[in-house]
Amino acid sequence: MEKVILAYSGGLDSSVITAWLKETYGYEVIAVAANLGQGEELDPLQEKADKSGVYKLYIEDLREEFITDYIYPTLRAGAVYEGKYLLGTSFARPLIAKRLVEIAEKEGAVAICHGATGKGNDQVRFELGIKALNPYIKIIAPWRIWDIKSREEAIEYARVRGIEIPTASKSYSMDRNIWHLSHEGSDLEDPWNEPQRDLFLLGVAPEDAPDKATYVELDFEQGTPVSVNGEKLPPIKLLETLNRLGGENGVGIADIVENRLVGMKARGVYETPGGTILYAAHQALEHLTLDSITFHYKEQIALKYAEMVYNGVWFSPLREALDAFVNVTQRNVTGTVRLKLYKGSCILAGSKSPYSLYNEEFATFGRDEVYNQKDAEGFINLFGLPLKVRALMEKESGLRK
């Protein structure tokens, strides 16, 4: 019997797809669930897989690889999609695709199946990852093939075949990992609707946060976070600690109507408490340690990097080349940043680095002996020369009266 690898979550879609794959193709279904930090969602998976007819289930703990090989490179790049979205779902998909391919090759499977819909970005991210790593394996996307068009029809499909499915219904479509939690659908489909205060699961609404600010210090080495409040922490523990601190103070909530790759706009509300803290701290340290032309050029690179991650082009020579550039810029991004967390805000409260380019002797408003203010006159004359020449031409030619 031929084998298919199924990206598995244990929900309604996974249960129905398992039956559909067996019924339509006669495949032996091998399910793969990636542990990216979604917590208790993973606990009942083995029981669900057994009841839905899965032949074998892999539950892969990819949390540390996710942080070190996907989150941290994107953080060092400063990549943010459309000014708000910290790419929590986007860079999870190529890692899952990578593991799906590895298990497909190990098991000798002929196909990989995912449950992403034809309206979303994830179908692109999964499939680009699979194609980049194994161009020969078949990809099956049921939502683009089968006759099921809605959740109600999927439930009926399961009922007719005696498939046990989760009874709890979710108001929102959510994706959770150790970096973020996204919310879409339901009342959020109308951009005029404010998110309800009970929506948030990783933290509290800003108005429900404590009245006293929380201070947190982060240490970075070459652009990578290594400790919180003076304590060296491994990647998983570090991010969990920042998620807790940020969530308690209502930090990291982003509400955005974003431009999906497939052409439509979609409204999402994202919770990224620890990630928001890390981005703020990393940028503050770069302000200290990067020279102006490098910093400004890196801002341009960040936009392209974010777009590539969002669009699923992770496994590409350009992304590797951008990483090489970013890694050079991070050589001196080492130091300590102090942030104040207060009712949803993340405010810089101090930064220092042994490689700081900030020189108080030059920047002071007091008396100094190192900067000759008279030098500025010659600089302004040369910098403004093109404007002066153009103005002279317009005066002499009569273009300007």
Dihedral angle at the C-alpha atoms of 242, 248, 250, 252, nearest 10 degrees? Answer: 20
- Active centre residues (catalytic): 13, 93, 122, 173
Phi, psi (rounded to 5 degrees) for 85? -85, 120
Q: What angle do CA 6, 170, 175 make, to 5 degrees?
A: 50
CB-CB contact of 312 with 129 (8 Å): yes
Q: What 3-state DSSP class applies to 300?
A: helix
**Cα–Cα dist 157/14, whole Å:** 13
DSSP 184-244: ESGGGGSTTSPPPGGG-SSS--GGGS-SS-EEEEEEEETTEEEEETTEE--HHHHHHHHHH
CB-CB contact of 88 with 252 (8 Å): no
Phi-psi region of 131 (alpha: psi -120 to 50; beta: other; left: phi over 0): alpha
Helix (H) or strand (E) holding 4: strand 3-7
